[in-house]
Chain A
Amino acid sequence: DARVTQTPRHKVTEMGQEVTMRCQPILGHNTVFWYRQTMMQGLELLAYFRNRAPLDDSGMPKDRFSAEMPDATLATLKIQPSEPRDSAVYFCASGLNTGELFFGEGSRLTVL
């Protein structure tokens, strides 16, 4: 059963700490997206990759957020230092140029 896997599912941390979220896209998919979901803003695109190359990270606060794909089976989203306003659910999604995105179950981040 192919699915996008995200870890951790839940993370509570204190302001100023580093947070790393990981995503394993569906094997064979060549696009990977990071979205942030909040009640106020809905689904915001943070970054996306095609064939591991970053194509767009304009939605990401550059001073504290970074996204990478060290290899085809792993995408990471890092926040350093974290702030309370970063509290949200972060989704990773992958695709294969068909238009359909497959989402993981999300990482719920709470920054105290």
Chain B
Amino acid sequence: QQQVKQSPQSLIVQKGGISIINCAYENTAFDYFPWYQQFPGKGPALLIAIRPDVSEKKEGRFTISFNKSAKQFSLHIMDSQPGDSATYFCAASNFGNEKLTFGTGTRLTIIP
């Protein structure tokens, strides 16, 4: 019940394209869904997060879409740039509790 399933494992997108990463969770008690971005040799860093009272949250080129009934959420990166090349982790928790359950990660590569 604690799992968060993430796909795809790796993704190659052309510069300017849309990158989409999907996650699904099982625990209906989760009410906080962040995405973390990790560059090589660095620790993960919070990119964007959503709570289930909204179905979408946008920050610049990054958008989270949330489907509560399907227990799924996704990250969309619009106008993908080479600097977006990184590993992305979805996660879930109870809001205010930083004990995050992470997905397995998606290695995103943006090619010119």
- Residues of A bordering B, CB below 8 Å: 4, 31, 33, 41-43, 45, 48, 55-56, 91, 93, 95, 97-106
Contact = CB atoms under 8 A, between A and B. Distances in A.
18 contacts: A4-B43, A42-B102, A42-B103, A43-B105, A48-B99, A55-B99, A56-B99, A93-B43, A97-B96, A97-B98, A98-B98, A99-B34, A99-B93, A101-B44, A103-B45, A105-B43, A106-B41, A106-B43
User: What are the 10 A-B residue pairs with the smallest beta carbon separation, nearest first?
Assistant: A103-B43, A95-B98, A42-B104, A43-B102, A100-B46, A103-B44, A99-B32, A42-B105, A101-B98, A31-B98
Contacts of B89: 42-43
B73 to A, nearest CB: 15
Nearest to A43: B102
Chain B residues touching A, range: 20 to 34
User: A interface, by DSSP: helix, strand, loop or mixed?
Assistant: strand
A110 B67 CA distance: 41
Interface of B: 32, 34, 41-46, 49, 89, 93, 95-105
Given A91-B43, A101-B100, 7 more contacts: A42-B102, A45-B101, A55-B99, A99-B96, A99-B98, A101-B44, A102-B45
A93 B32 CA distance: 18
A98 B95 CA distance: 8
